Structures are given as C-alpha cells and as structure tokens.
Chains A and B, each alone.
Chain A
Amino acid sequence: MDDQSYKRARMRAEQAELDARLAEAKVLTGKSQEQLNVLNTRITRLRKQLQLGEAQ
C-alpha cells in the first residue's frame, strides 16, 4: 500500500469509530427514555389507584 492508502484507511477507521460511538450513545438514550416511560406509566397507575381509594 502507498502512503495515500494508509491515510485513507486511518481516516475511515476514525470515522467508523465515531459512527459506532454515536450509535451506542443513541441506544443508551433510547433505553433511558424507555425507563422514563415505564416510570410514567407506573405513576399514572398509582395516581389512578389513589383516586379510586378516595372515591370509595
């Protein structure tokens, strides 16, 4: 390989690494969003149960 090929390979490797890190971060963001959704569902349900209790 000539110098140019090495350089191109290094650039592609650097770009690929950041692509992977961004993809990983997106997955983790999605997971944290999911956890928030679960918590919100539970809170809504608890509120409903408390209201039912007060109504009785």
Chain B
Amino acid sequence: MSPMIRGLSCVLLLGSVALGGCASQPSSEQALQQAGDDFQKVKEDANVLRFAPKDVIRAGESLARADRLSSYWGSGADVVHYAYLSQRYSAIAREHTQQGLNAERGTQLELERQRLQLALRENKLASVQQQGKWVEAQIASLTTQTDRGLVMTLGEQDNLKLSRDRAQSVADLLMDLGIDDKRIEVEGYGDQYPVEANASERGRAQNRRVEIVFSDEKGQLGAAR
C-alpha cells in the first residue's frame, strides 16, 4: 500500500507547491533536520551509548516516526511533534551520560580522597607528641597570619568573620582527618565571651581560641553560649 499512498502524496505535495506552499512545511523540515542532527551526535558518542542506550533508542524511534510522517501531506504538526520528542530524548540522553561520567569520576576522586586522608593521618598522627606540636603550629599560623606586625582595627563584623573563619579551619581539619561533616557545626562569636581582658597581647591571644563542644548521645549540645 505504501507506494500507492506515497505516489498520491507526491501529487498532492506538487499541487500545494504550485498553490504557494503549505505554511507548516518549512518549519517541520527544520524540526526534522535539527532532531536528526541531535540524534546523530548522541548516536556517535560512545559514552552516551554506554550510559543512556534506552534514551538513544527512544530518540531514534521518535525520529523515525517523524521522518515517516514527513512524507505525508498535511502532517506537519505531527512531524514537528515527534521531532520535538526525539530532540528531548537526545537531550535527556546527554544529561544521563553526564551523570554517569560524574559518578565514575566521583568514585575515582573518593578513592583519591581516602588515600590522601590515610596519608595525612599517618603523617600527622604518628605520635601524640607530634600531633600536639602540629596543632599548635596550625593555631599559631592562624593567629600570626592575621595579627603579626600589623595594627589592626577590627569592627564587629570583622571579628565575627575572623572567629568564624578560625572555627571553620579547625572544622576543615577535623573533616580532613575523617570526621563526617554532618556532625560538625561551626559558630563564630566575634569578640563576645572573652576569657581574659583584651588589654594585653597575652590576653588577646587567649581570647583567640576555638572551643570544641561535644553533644550528648542524643545529639544535643549543652546550653548555647
């Protein structure tokens, strides 16, 4: 039956061209062309075939349908519709592929992170003594970087940010050593709650501190500051 209908549609098409062309015909051709280009790109991508074969198949099926319909006169809207679906499937295939690639890369990076974390633990926690020295050095670097040799006038906001950054760097260190970041909350209190007068360098140094507060077994902290 196909040759007969096709013959008929050709005649009708010629007729419509003679009459000035069907309005939807050029746009349906464009849609078909674009969908075909998109499908070609995903089909040639080995990663897409690896991660999203089903999406590629659906994109191909919709495209074939649009292509078949394009040989019938008056089916412009259907051609545009199936070309649209095909393009969507191609786009979805690309997204799924990127997700798969990201997951693969994530697995690699996670192994690398664990390896580095172990190395850091070995290096830094070999002896308790060494650990103590290292933490001291970390804290010293935190304070000297900002304060040494400088006359600093800090507003309330600066103090808040500094204290938060200081607490965050300790939290970062704990996370690097393997503590789940969901277990850590960071708060900055600025110049509130001094333990010593800020008049002397010694007093200020003692106020530049990070307190680590442990929750009870229900996960509740003692009274907040």
Could you tell me which A residues sit within 8 Å of B by CB distance?
Answer: 11, 14-15, 18-19, 21-22, 25-26, 28-29, 32-33, 35-36, 39-40, 42-43, 45-47, 49-50, 53-54, 56
Contact = CB atoms under 8 A, between A and B. Distances in A.
Given A43-B112, A43-B116, A50-B120, A29 B85 contact: no
A45 B85 contact: no
A18 B120 contact: no
B116 A46 contact: yes
Contact of A29 (B81, B95, B123, B124): B95
9 contacts: A14-B81, A18-B84, A18-B92, A25-B92, A32-B102, A46-B120, A47-B116, A49-B120, A56-B137
A45 B88 contact: no
A29 B98 contact: yes
B161 interface: no
Interface string B160-183: 000000000000110110000000
B116 A50 contact: yes
Contacts of B113: 39, 42-43, 46
Interface of B: 77, 81, 84-85, 88-89, 91-92, 95-96, 98-99, 102-103, 105-106, 109-110, 112-113, 116-117, 119-120, 123-124, 134, 137, 172-173, 175-176
A18 B109 CA distance: 32
B124 A22 contact: no
A50 B173 CA distance: 12
A28 B102 CA distance: 11
Contacts of A53: 120, 123-124, 134
